[in-house]
Amino acid sequence: MPLTAAPAPVPPPHTGGLLAIIDGTAGLLTVAALGIALLLFLIIKARLQPFVALLGVSIAVGLAAGLSVTELFGTVQKSDAVSLIESGMGGILGHIAIIIGLGTMLGAILEVSGGAEALSARLLGLFGEKRAPLAMGLTGLIFGIPVFFDVGIFVLAPIVYAAAKRSGKSIVLYAMPMLAGLSMTHAFLPPHPGPVAAAGLLHVDLGWVILMGILVGVPSVLAAWAYAAWIGNRLFVPVPQDMLEAAEEAREAVAAEQRAAGATPAERPVPVSTVLAIIGTPLVLILCATFSSIALDPSTGRSVIEFFGHPFVALTIALLLAYYLLGIRRGWSRKSLETVSTASLKPIGNILLVVGAGGVFGAVLKGSGVAQALADAFDSAGLPVILLAWLISVVLRVAQGSATVAIVTTAGIVSPMLTEGHYSQAHLALVIMAISAGSIFASHVNDGGFWMVAKYFGISERDTLKSWTVLESVLSVAGFVVAGLLSLVI
């Protein structure tokens, strides 16, 4: 059973047409450059919502490159004809929407049940006061697998405040390792939107993405932790009173949410083994399915393993385990489970629309021939695809701030360079790691994450640049270096 979405149907490239304004390879490259420049202008200067910007630029690039209105939008008469916009949007969302939805609900149950607090308390107890920053880093790393970055900050920030206040040391010493763990999982591991979207756009098995995400992410986060320890001992930022008050409000908000869900975490702490088992279940199942397709001949046993290891099935199993082990068995009502799950899905609409518009952009680049012209130009430059992927992602990230936009745009640009190279799934997964690494480089004032870190932890903008911005750059460069080295032997 294949674990990846089938490639969306794309019409053959066109370089002429009624609305074409530029012809030839040079013209197509000009269209690409102007399209990317327009995208950056609309997002950065015009402050246009990224979904609208991506969709509008996709249409403009398609028309400028010679696609007809029918090819872009289809026709009313031929309802069975799939347009480029429909195939681009549907092809990617059909693959990632279910994964992101299931992963989001799983993270919400873990969050509201008190799983993060139980995990951090156990790790702090194991490592002791002297190694508390490492315990915070591991908490961010483990809890960050099923939980979005911003949610992880909200849930774990009060624990950081408490650790910094108790020790009297800089809050940077405790916050940065935790943030590095959250950022690593958000960048490199499913079910987070970035790696899942890239896997869908490049048609890579999620098992390979998980495996390469671990191989690339672990050394990268170790490098980031080393920098976090260095800067945390040199940049003193006290825990301000308003942050302590905010932490108390956060605790009360989470407690109210737990009470509304029927949970009583203070009386019945969540077993850490349960949290780890729920988080690890989908990862293990997906990896087993991936390797069974390599190690086993076609058989009933292999089909069973691939069924349970399909991302849709694996995440559904993990979610049902969370419902029972963290919900029903701990006194939650079915209504509470439904309320928490439904509420968790509200913030992902923007993510799905941006990723879908990125799929449209990629489909238009392919269908118009712009992507192939870019591929030919990059090939003539003689640079490895994995380096180009990282560089393009870095430029887009630094210019406009959104990691998701950087990933989906870069994947659409480099896709034709990969389809003709007969790359293995493992190598394609490493290219995804390079793209994801580039998408987190140099988080600065145009990135929402920069302001979340500064405001949640009471760090000035200047000190946030010294700590968080450099930390993200270290994580990005380390991720690319490890991915590049692995690509030489895989």
pLDDT of residue 358: 84
**pLDDT for the residue numbered 19:** 38
pLDDT of 16 > 60? The answer is no
For the stretch 83-103, pLDDT in tens is 888 888 888 888 789 998 998
Per-residue pLDDT tens for 38-49?
988 998 788 888
**pLDDT surpasses 80 at 317:** yes
Q: For 123-256, where are the E strands, in sequence order?
A: none
Question: pLDDT by residue (tens digit) across 121-161?
Answer: 888 889 988 899 999 999 999 999 998 888 888 888 888 88
For the stretch 319-328, pLDDT in tens is 999 999 998 8
Instruction: Average the pLDDT over each of 58-62, 144-148, 335-339, 476-480 and give the range with the smallest value.
Output: 335-339
Q: Is 224 exposed, middle or buried (0-12, 13-18, 19+ CB in 10 A)?
A: buried
CA dihedral 116, 121, 126, 128 (to 10 degrees): 120
Confidence of residue 293 (pLDDT cuts 50, 70, 90): confident
Ranking 59-68, 240-249, 407-416, 447-456 by mean pLDDT, the lowest is 240-249
Mean pLDDT of 292-300: 86
Average pLDDT for residues 261-290, to the nearest whole number? Answer: 81
**SS3 of 280-306:** HHHHHHHHHHHHHHHHCCCCHHHHHHH
Distance from C-alpha of 136 to C-alpha of 142, rounded to nearest angstrom? 10
Whether residue 229 is predicted with pLDDT greater than 90 in this model: the reply is yes
Give the integer Cα–Cα distance in Å for 477 and 116: 29
pLDDT at 79: 52
Model pLDDT, residue 267: 52
Compute the distance between CA of residue 363 and CA of residue 251 in angstroms, rounded to an integer.
45
Give the model's confidence band at 82: pLDDT under 50 very low, under 70 low, under 90 confident, else very high: low
So what's the pLDDT on residue 266? 43
CA atoms of 226 and 236, how far apart (whole Å): 17
Instruction: For tokens 């170790």, name the residue.
Output: 222
Specify the pLDDT at position 242: 67
**Which token pair is 364?**
């238009």
- pLDDT, position 206: 93
Q: With 60 as the cut, is the pLDDT of residue 226 above it?
A: yes
Distances (CA, A) of 154 to 144, 180, 236, 295, 415: 12, 15, 22, 42, 36
Q: H-type helices in 113-170, by residue range?
A: 115-127, 132-143, 149-167
- pLDDT greater than 60 at residue 34: yes
Both tokens assigned to 32? 């690409």
C-alpha span between 370 and 67 (Å, rounded)? 11
Residue 421's pLDDT is 65
What is the largest distance, in Å, between two alpha-carbon atoms of the chain?
71
Query: Comparing 7-11, 85-89, 117-121, which segment has the lowest mean pLDDT?
Result: 7-11
Cα separations in angstroms, 72 against 137, 201, 370: 47, 19, 14
Query: Does 60 have pLDDT greater than 50?
Result: yes
More confident residue, 345 or 7: 345
The amino acid at 164 = A
Residue 2's pLDDT is 39
Can you give the pLDDT at residue 153? 87
**3-class DSSP assignment, residue 12:** coil
Using alpha carbons, select from 255, 485, 490, 258 the residue that is nearest to residue 387: 485
The helix or strand, by DSSP H or E, that contains position 365, with its residue range, turns out to be helix 349-368
44 against 204, higher pLDDT: 204
Distance CA 185, CA 151 (A): 13
Residue from 248, 237, 188 nearest 213 by CA:
188
Closest CA to 62 of 51, 50, 74: 74
* Residue 114, phi-psi category: left (phi > 0), alpha (psi -120 to 50), beta (remainder): left
Q: Is the pLDDT of residue 195 over 50?
A: yes
Q: What is the pTM of this model?
A: 0.82
Q: Check if the beta carbon of residue 85 is closer than 8 Å to that of residue 360.
A: yes
